[in-house]
Amino acid sequence: MVEEDQRGRRMIITGASSGIGLAAASRLAARGADVVLAVRNPERGRVALERIRTEVPDARVEVGELDLADLGSVRRFVDDQLGRGPLRALINNAGISNTPKRTLTVDGFELQAATNVLGHFVLTAGLMPALHAGGDSRIVSVSSMAALAVPSVDLSFNEHGRYLPALAYAQSKLACGIFALELDRRLKAANRPTISVLTHPGWASTNLFAAHDDPVNRMINYFTGALATPAADGAECEVHAATAAELTGGEYIGPRWISRGKPWIIRPRRLMSDPQTGRRWWQAAERRTGITFELD
């Protein structure tokens, strides 16, 4: 059961200037949550904020600048947010897809891996004190049906070997699932009340593939516009994962009918949920980012 009243609960949503993130932020604000729109482009964030306030006049919403592809930006955001009190939910929603060529960030990470998972890994680690202070708080990570497309885990985070845009995206979304489920195991081992939940939106119509104008992305955009559900429907699983009172951690929330439908607990693929794979991925992520989680 989703808890309708979220008053007094502070939540951060990354990538909340459009698409599913914006829809989820609006729904949570309508339920009384104090929502931080963590966005790369502050101007787009302010436009999103005004849109939410049009729909929810008494919304308690603010904009925070966060570029997940720049660890310096992640650290600045964390420093700012740690001084603002307990955090009840961190929704790691932001994502990019199908960057045509392998592109490295200022920190030397492949761009899709950096934005979709490694930036969130560092962000979550930095915000753990605020999440611990929030008591029964939760971290929500967002995977994708695309994660089914890869047969194994790439512990080089798309930095080596042949680069295929769609498979690099799928790898990053597989990694989001591994991260979320391994994080929950570690939180439980540390006897923390904070939980980690995984979700995916099904096939929702967003601008995820709109940033790159090439034949593959134009085709995806065409079929997405024709067949996918609206972003507001795609946000249902994300909001459920962030607020449903019965969740105890480690669940994977997706649409009932795979690509669409009401939120449902689904079974993650073995590669996501395997503890040994989770440990190996976690160690690789800590080495690559230089970040160590403090969960005790």
Q: How far is it, in rounded angstroms, from Cα 202 to Cα 141?
A: 14
Q: How far is it, in rounded angstroms, from Cα 106 to Cα 3?
A: 40
Question: Which CA distances in Å does 182 have to 28, 52, 192, 250, 266?
Answer: 26, 34, 14, 8, 17
Q: How far is it, in rounded angstroms, from Cα 88 to Cα 283?
A: 27
Phi-psi region of 2 (alpha: psi -120 to 50; beta: other; left: phi over 0): beta
Q: How far is it, in rounded angstroms, from Cα 217 to Cα 223?
A: 10
Residues in the chain, total: 296
Q: Are 82 and 125 in contact (CB under 8 A)?
A: no
Q: How far is it, in rounded angstroms, from Cα 216 to Cα 173?
A: 19
163 is catalytic: no
Beta strands in 15-134 (DSSP E): 34-39, 60-65, 89-92
Residues near 291 by beta carbon (within 8 Å), at least 6 away in sequence: 121, 122, 125, 285
Cβ count within 10 A of residue 155: 17
Q: Which one of the listed residues 163, 169, 222, 252 is annotated catalytic?
A: 169
Residues near 168 by beta carbon (within 8 Å), at least 6 away in sequence: 99, 102, 110, 112, 113, 158
- Which residues are known to be catalytic? 169
